[in-house]
Amino acid sequence: MYSLVIITGLLAFASSKPCGTAGSNSELLLSLNKDLLRSLESQKGLPNPSVHLALRLSDNHNLAKEGEHLNKLKSHLHNDIQNSLANSQSVVGQLALYTLALKSSCYDLNTITFTVGDKRETLLTHLKNQMEQEKQHIAFSHRPLTNYYQYSLGVLALCVSGVRVNNHVSNKLIKAVEHEHFKHGDSESIDTYAMAGMALQCVKESGSHVQNAVQLDTALTKIKQKLFAGQKQDGHIGNEFSTGLAVQALLAMGSQVAECAASMEAMRTDARSNTYHNPMAISQVLPALQQKSYLAVKSKECLVENDSLMLEPMDTVVDLPSETEVAVTVTVTVDVVTSSGATASYSVIVPKGSSLLKALNVLKENDPDFMFETETSLWGPFLSVVNGEQARQSDRRYWHLSSGHTGLTEGISDYKIEAAQTITIKNTSY
């Protein structure tokens, strides 16, 4: 999703920035930690394994609330994955995050099982089977059933759980790095490079990938180059929502903290301005700011943990609609492959500060010619159907959202309408 920009003097610039966590930085980390913990009380839908993972990797804990959330993962998320497996759906990303979340709580993974048909198998067996299906699909069609981000998550989850990753599985990821297959639309996916970097670094450290050690090292070097090349002048790698994973990956792959200092400072600035109000975003940023990565799960010991994290009572805040209204034009471009590529435009007026989701709902209520449907994700709702047309992952398509000529980096429930603008919704392939 992100354009690559080569920044001259990147390392020198990064090294000039302070990277400690003393004083106000420690207070900021504690505030983020509390925000993440508080999100457990207000979360909608399924419990988020990424949030649990970040809480468990943090320096401060509320073990009672973390324990409650773990139980929700083992019931609600577990049952959802069970249903998906029973329906032969590809859920390698969910399985991987569930594995990482359980592992971060030092839970015995061999006691977690799923039953498909009459066969009962462990979580790790199902994850290995899903990875085998993904690998076979790459061999057949040169791409995973899901995507390389989820594929990388699968490799990482198996590896940190002490499971030897099949060389054929890791080789597919190495080849994808070599041939630069981590694309989202026309841009390189910083998130995918980051997750692949952590996965392959874990494979390297496990010592299991000895046959193609040179290719593995070459892939890791290329990933580091891609991440550093993706750093903007303001310190973000990709954008504000991919920087957390990118820093995690760089640290995991051996980069010095000073090399990531500009990116850490950018994340701290974002945090102070409340950019990270989505729990999923915080869950990726908090470990990075604490100079940790998901690889830390491999050696996690749940002993003598700081159980001092407490939440103060929050004042109830009622958001009153703004008296200022703004006009929004919504332009929809349908699939140019299966349709005429026609564009339809609609107009709606909403209170300033409304979410894009609210604007679309108001438009749907007022104009019978416009309709849309959403699906849930760990990041919140995302568009799945617009005016009767789907943009499905299985078809390698998604609804690309932009304001003017700038692609949106937030989801429809997070992006706020602060001024009159044109929102373009385009069915796009990747």
Encoded tokens for 225: 């180059």
Look at residue 145 in the predicted model and tell me its pLDDT. Answer: 92
Q: What is the pLDDT of residues 16-73, one digit of tens each?
A: 333 344 557 999 999 999 999 999 988 888 999 999 999 999 999 999 999 999 999 9
Residue 210 belongs to domain spanning? 10-299
pTM (2 decimals)?
0.90
Query: Lowest-pLDDT range, 13-27, 317-331, 364-378, 409-423?
Result: 13-27
In a domain, 309, yes or no: no
Whose tokens are 């099949």? That residue is: 166
Same domain for 329 and 255 = no
372 forms beta bridges with 386
Q: How far is CA 196 from CA 92, 122, 381, 392, in A?
A: 14, 25, 25, 23
How many domains are there within the chain?
2
Encoded tokens for 354: 């409304």
Question: How far is Cα 312 from Cα 413, in angstroms, rounded to an integer?
Answer: 26
Same domain for 349 and 268 = no
In a domain, 318, yes or no: no
In a domain, 3, yes or no: no
Q: How far is CA 209 from the centre of its chain?
A: 27
Question: What is the domain-level CATH number for residue 366?
Answer: 2.170.130.30
Q: What is the pLDDT of residues 357-382, one digit of tens each?
A: 999 999 999 999 999 999 989 999 99
Look at residue 212 in the predicted model and tell me its pLDDT. Answer: 79
Contact 279, 52 (CB under 8 A): no
Judge whether residue 428 has pLDDT over 90. Answer: no
Same domain for 386 and 329 = yes
Same domain for 251 and 116 = yes
In a domain, 313, yes or no: no
Same domain for 278 and 336 = no
Question: What is the domain-level CATH number for residue 65?
Answer: 1.50.10.20
Residues 127-161: b if buried by 16+ CB within 10 A, e if exposed: bbebbeebbebbeeeebbbbbbbbbbbbbbbbbbb
Look at residue 17 in the predicted model and tell me its pLDDT. Answer: 39
Same domain for 122 and 51 = yes
Same domain for 224 and 101 = yes
Judge whether residue 330 has pLDDT over 60. Answer: yes
In a domain, 185, yes or no: yes
Same domain for 197 and 107 = yes
In a domain, 230, yes or no: yes
Look at residue 3 in the predicted model and tell me its pLDDT. Answer: 35
Judge whether residue 319 has pLDDT over 70. Answer: no
Q: Which of 299, 314, 339 is the last residue of a domain?
A: 299
Look at residue 317 in the predicted model and tell me its pLDDT. Answer: 63
In a domain, 306, yes or no: no
Same domain for 149 and 53 = yes
Same domain for 383 and 270 = no
Same domain for 356 and 284 = no
Look at residue 45 in the predicted model and tell me its pLDDT. Answer: 85
In a domain, 374, yes or no: yes
Which has the closest alpha carbon to 117: 107, 108, 129?
129
Same domain for 331 and 281 = no
Whose tokens are 């969910």? That residue is: 94
Encoded tokens for 341: 């590529």
Instruction: Please state, for a pLDDT cut of 90, what percent of the chain lies above it.
Output: 79
Q: Average pLDDT, stretch 338-364? A: 88
